[in-house]
Amino acid sequence: MTLDISHLTHTYGKKVALSDFNWRFENGFYGVLGPNGAGKTTLMKLISDSI
């Protein structure tokens, strides 16, 4: 299974959580690392809502 994400942008009001995110997830295990407020949880919520 492959999951392609292209040009994903998400905002909370005027606050940009994700801006033009592009990635291809192939079969395997992935971890998402980043500082607080980088949009990790927002990305996971958007992916899980679209599957």
- Cα separation of 33 and 2, whole Å? 21
pLDDT means over runs of 10, the chain (51 residues):
93 92 94 91 89 75
Q: What is the three-class DSSP state of 11? A: strand
Number of domains in the chain: 1
List the one residue out of 2, 3, 9 whose CA is nearest residue 43: 9
Query: Domain span at residue 33?
Result: 3-50
pLDDT at 7: 96
* Confidence (pTM): 0.72
C-alpha distances (whole Å) from 14 to each of 33, 34, 37, 46 are 24, 21, 14, 18
